[in-house]
Structure 1
Amino acid sequence: MKVESITFKDENNNDQEFYVVEQTRVNGINYLLVADTPEGDAEALILKEISEESAAEAEYVPVEDHAQLEALMKLFTELLEDDVEIQL
């Protein structure tokens, strides 16, 4: 399976590459589960899209609300079946 990579700018304007593990849409909002490596044990983030409809590029921020993170982790775990184990 080909894993799509995406590049984000951090707060210091440095490029950070992540790999999209899964994506979903909840209540009209797009979320990405991304990892810092394409396979194996990895650090992962759940990102929420905050871009305007007219934006040329999508803009994402990390989900930081604990309750929302737990709910999204359950959803991504179901979507991925037994392929991954997600922990806070």
Structure 2
Amino acid sequence: MEKIRFTSDELQEETEFFVLEQTKLNGVSYILVTDSEEDDAECLILKDTSAEEEKESIYEIVEDEKELSAILKVFEELLEDIEIER
């Protein structure tokens, strides 16, 4: 599992996540990440909000319920062996 590091501009701290899956929907990149490799880990869906010319990606947590439901269905199909609870 790929591990990525995020830096919060507000808190000036780094957080590491494991990438479970990534996909693109309507031209927007999304990643499903978890804080642990253990079975009952917490996961987040992050959305790439950076401009195309940006050198580094900028990810934000998907909080809109309609968008979250749509992308969650995509990830559930991609990850048949993983159960995602809301």
The two structures share one fold, judged by TM-score above 0.5: yes
Aligned-residue identity in percent: 49
After superposition, residues 23-38 of structure 1 pair within 5 angstroms as: 23-38=22-37
Cα RMSD of the aligned pairs, angstroms, is 1.0
Q: Determine the structure 2 residue equivalent to 1:51.
A: 50
After superposition, residues 1-20 of structure 1 pair within 5 angstroms as: 3-10=1-8, 11-20=10-19
Question: Stretches of 4+ moved more than 3 A in 1?
Answer: none
Gapped regions of structure 2 (runs ≥ 5): none
- The alignment's TM-score, normalised by the length of structure 2, stands at 0.92
Question: How many equivalent residue pairs?
Answer: 85
Please give the secondary structure, in 2, of the residue aligned with 1:58: coil
Q: Aligned equivalents of 2:54 and 2:67: distance in 1?
A: 25
Q: Determine the structure 1 residue equivalent to 2:82.
A: 84
Gapped regions of structure 1 (runs ≥ 5): none
Q: Aligned equivalents of 2:4 and 2:48: distance in 1?
A: 14
- The alignment's TM-score, normalised by the length of structure 1, stands at 0.90
